[in-house]
Amino acid sequence: MKASDLSEVGSNNTLMGAWYVNQIIFNRRKVLVFMNEKTLLSFIVVSVKKSKTIQDDFTAIFLHHFFNFMKSMEFPMSKMGQMMDDYQDAQFCKTDSRQALGNLNDLAFLYEHLIYDQGGLEFCDLSDVILKMNDVPQKNLGYKTSRQIAYELLSDPHLVM
């Protein structure tokens, strides 16, 4: 994607905040790594076709996989509607957060190694890999897991910043 295709960074008034995405290559397959800015929740999407498809269908791709991810994490159904509404108008923006980029790169590295440890993309259980990644204590979160921070945020949005 060219810089001219990016939107201006606007305010993000969503419950969970912005999501970052990075496209990486595993075994010659395109993989999208998504990460939430507030909770460091993350999930991956494998075998996305051409970059043009990603740009044109980004919101639909994200919402579909985000909804399935939220169900697998067993987040409160009472918050699902709001969260899905929050991201109906997803846009590509360039980030100025070096910390977010560093976290996203670290997650991509960890996903790659966990997938290879389980035999590669053809043999691993991606749902299990994603759940495990979100249950790893993280220094940036005070040694809590992404899932714990997300539950706290969804229970009381004023607890987490």
The 10s digit of each residue's pLDDT in 109-138 is 999 999 999 999 889 999 999 999 999 999
pTM of the predicted structure, to 2 decimals: 0.83
Average pLDDT of the residues of the chain: 82
* Residue 69 belongs to a domain: yes
| 161 inside domain | no
Is 99's pLDDT higher than 90? no
- 5 part of a folded domain: no
> How many domains is the chain partitioned into structurally?
1
Read off the CATH number of the domain in which 151 is found: 3.30.420.10
HEC string of the chain equals: CCHHHCECCCCCCCCCCCEEEEEEEECCEEEEEEEECCCCCEEEEECCCCHHHHHHHHHHHHHHHHHHHHHHCCCCHHHHHHHHHHCCCCCCECCCCHHHHHHHHHHHHHHHHHHHHCCCCCCCCHHHHHHHHCCCCEHHHCCECHHHHHHHHHHCCCCCC
Q: For residue 132, what are the domain limits?
A: 14-155
Residue 102 lies in a domain: yes
- Residue 31 forms part of a structural domain: yes
* Residue 4 domain-assigned (yes or no): no
Residue 2 falls inside a structural domain:
no
Q: Give domain status of residue 160, yes or no.
A: no
